[in-house]
A and B are shown apart, each in its own frame.
Chain A
Amino acid sequence: MENSIARQDQAIKRITLNKKPSFFKEIRKNHLLYLLTLPGILLLFVFSYLPMFGIVIAFQNYNPVKGILKSEFVGFKNFQFFLESSDVYRVVFNTLFLNFLFIGFGTLASLIIAIIFSELKGKYFKRIAQTIVTLPNFLSWTVVATFATSFLLYKEGLINQILRDFGLEGFAFYNTAAYWPLILVIIKLWHAAGFGSIVYLATISGINPEIYEAASMDGATRWGKIRHITLPMVKPTVMLLLLLAMGNIFYGDFGMIYAIVGKNALLYPTTDVIDTYVYRALVDLGNVSMAASVGLIQSIVGFVLVVTVNQLARKFSPDSALF
């Protein structure tokens, strides 16, 4: 009996092995289907892969008047400035640290908001509240920076005025670097968490209501349903978005940090990220090649991270892996 099962198994294996056709056989067999994908592939090739030859700028002493083809090739010279700077450890640390905080707390907050909204029943309240939490995302960072100023100024800032009304000492926010990771996280959450919750909310509303009904019949509490149904069901989405976020972890949020911190050198120790640093280093030189070299480093690190984390995800939670 066991023997026959084993033989069957082997047979199946052989069939599956045989089923894996060679590349050319596959093409010949499904050539029409492949032909249909051709325009899409062409489009991707022309607009996403061909421009990648522009990377060569990072290895050139690029001069726009001479053009890419005639500019002098200098190898890895453009990478020197970034890799040899003494500040590089600090700005890389700040970039990673702030991004981990943003991603971690951002995901958490978005998830909580999504769950709260999915549990809410009042139709109008829900709509209004949802609009209100989504709205900040559409404000530009320059506007957010003015808001921040009106809250955080030492003399006229709202927070310090309230503290003083209670007879407490004010905080010199704009002179103290240590507060800023916290301040930036709060601003980031206010700005993006509501908008980020939309994807989770869509996933949650996609869960089959019968599962909840069945759980209710078995006497599950609301909290029990969230823990045992909602959370496990959104897990793949959470993982997917985290995975995608990993690709950008080496990019600082220039728009946000430059608008809010600007040229306040006192805050650089905790807020200076790769992008703001490179901006300051190259703003006077205006050197395209050196900037491109840093951009290339950032994308390579992002690529490596996405692949690595995807491998890990495939190992521990195969549903969530990207590829």
Chain B
Amino acid sequence: MKASHLSNRSLVLILVMICLLLAAGCQGSSAKNLKNAAVKQGEKASDPVTLKVMFFGSKPADMDKILAEFERLTKDTLHIKLDISWDIADTYNQKMRLKMAAGEQIDMLFDASWMSLEQNIGQGYYQPLDDYFLNDKYPGLKQAFPQAILDANRINGSLYTIPLTSNYTDFGTIFIRKDLREKYGLPPIQNMEQFQVFLEKVEQNNPEIIPFGIGNRGFFDMFYNFKDKQTRFRAVPHVIYGTGVEFNLVLSDDGKQVLGATTIGDPEADYAKLPAPFNQSNYFYSHNDKRVEFSRFIPADVLSNVEDLVVTGKAAAGEGAISGISKIKQRLKGAVPEADLEVFVYNDAARTLQPKAIGTSYKAWNNIVIPIFSRHKEESMKFINWLYESEANHDLFELGIEGLHWNKKGDHMYEMTPYAKDYLFPAYELTLNPLLSRLNADHDEQTLQYLQYQASEDSYYRVALSGFTFNPEPVKIEIAKVQPRFEAFNLITQAGLEPNWREEASKLNAELRMLGLEKIRAEFIKQVQAYIDSGGH
């Protein structure tokens, strides 16, 4: 009897303890909630609002100085603090998506079409921002983002992004070691034939140098056809992304009808159904022959190469976007002091500074978005408005502290001070803007000319279907099946490593058809036609 009494008592005791523990747990969180609520109420009076921001790249050494200056300047107006996290690009994309999938509270983050902008908008992750632009309450936004830019960046009829762009393109160029070219007695390079001669000279005279130091993305745009303006078709380099494979889309002359969409490896009979010159596969793919031809100049382990071979002086030439040249040149001179670099722009019309030479969809290549999970949409937009309100505000974030990191020079230009290296802010993640961004005066005259040319509205023409975005949802299973196959093939041909690419492409195409290529193609054509029918162009 006594024993049972005791056990009952201990049973009760233990149960009470468990209850207490659970209650303590609940209490803990509710107490915290209460405290949070209290903090929120008091926030307006004392504590600044902290905005959580996600960027990729490495944190500039002096970032905290700039943030401190920002807080000092806006203590009585905005009263905002920025909490910025930095990740390397590869990790960033995954982390950002994971945070969105988990519904984490982030106030501003970077996203782009080349990351996962359209998919994330499709998932409903981002807030529409239409009300803030062209609104007198936000003069900074009104001044820096004119109607044309906003129109080009609407997706599904709404504006979900703060579009960051200073030019509509950053065109591809080949970087060439000027000192070597002069050593071989060659004239400045004007075409691919001369470039090939240069590479051969490197091979003969400097066997220790890799003639053409490209990385694991292979050749970028250098062999593409830039002559034919893509106003009635879309193919590389203006291919429409998100379809798992790359389609060449052809429209009728009046632009009202989709005539067809072909892809690599399709039988010639499929091409023959289209009007000339699209009636043969060579029109779209002859660049692959050039890649194979030039592959003897590239590094042996090209697909595993992630090193920038030009900046270390290991390669005599490389390919990249023009705005990067001054930084590449600086680093190269650090490694090889006597080296010099010049650019060869392979788009003929752009090299000769012709008007309407560069195709664009007028879409920003980079964007800031505000996730649906943010509780500080208003404050975030106020910050962006402040940033674009005045040149001084904008310069602070883009270039750092005047006099310390940079100095004004000439008309809307700047020059770097020796301390500039402590604040190399990735402008394309927050501040890039056609009206406010200054040009770097350190560029040589030729590059400066190109940069001014690509900053001019008149250098561009609108590609067909510029506002179209493919929605992968209806065919996502097919895309998931087709994509890894196509991507593997593409990586190899992009580096010119498959001399029999035509046969391999036909084989691949037959396989992709079994995996659902035709379903994707039909959906793609359907969506484009629907876009045109609803007045898109």
Contacts and interface: CB of A to CB of B under 8 A. Distances in A.
B89 to A, nearest CB: 13
Interface in A2-57: 31-32, 35-36, 38-39
B515 A35 contact: no
Residue from B21, B306, B479, B481 having most chain A Cβ neighbours under 10 A: B481
B372 A65 contact: yes
A87 B476 contact: no
B301 A286 contact: no
A18 to B, nearest CB: 24
A265 B483 contact: no
Interface in A266-299: 266-268, 277, 280-282, 284-288, 290
B492 interface: yes
A277 B512 CA distance: 16
Interface residues of B, number: 46
Interface in B116-153: 116, 119-120, 123-125
Contact of A153 (B10, B216, B242, B301): B301
A63 B492 contact: no
A85 B514 CA distance: 9
B472 interface: yes
B67 interface: no
B144 to A, nearest CB: 30
A277 B484 contact: yes
B485 interface: yes
A38 B372 CA distance: 40
A35 B14 contact: yes
Given A284-B116, A286-B116, A290-B476, A264 B123 contact: no
Contacts of A284: 116, 119, 242, 244, 479, 483
B479 to A, nearest CB: 6
B83 interface: no
Contact of B300 (A155, A263, A267): A155
A266 B487 CA distance: 12
Interface string A58-83: 00000111100000000001101100
Given A65-B124, A86-B514, A265 B303 contact: yes
B304 A281 contact: no
A190 interface: no
9 residue pairs, one from A and one from B, having the closest CB atoms: A154-B300, A265-B491, A174-B301, A264-B303, A81-B480, A265-B488, A65-B124, A174-B304, A280-B484
11 contacts: A64-B101, A86-B481, A87-B484, A152-B301, A264-B491, A266-B497, A281-B483, A282-B480, A284-B483, A286-B123, A287-B480
Interface of B: 7, 10-11, 14, 18, 21, 97, 100-103, 116, 119-120, 123-125, 210, 216, 242, 244, 299-301, 303-304, 306, 372, 472, 476-477, 479-481, 483-485, 487-489, 491-492, 497, 511, 514-515
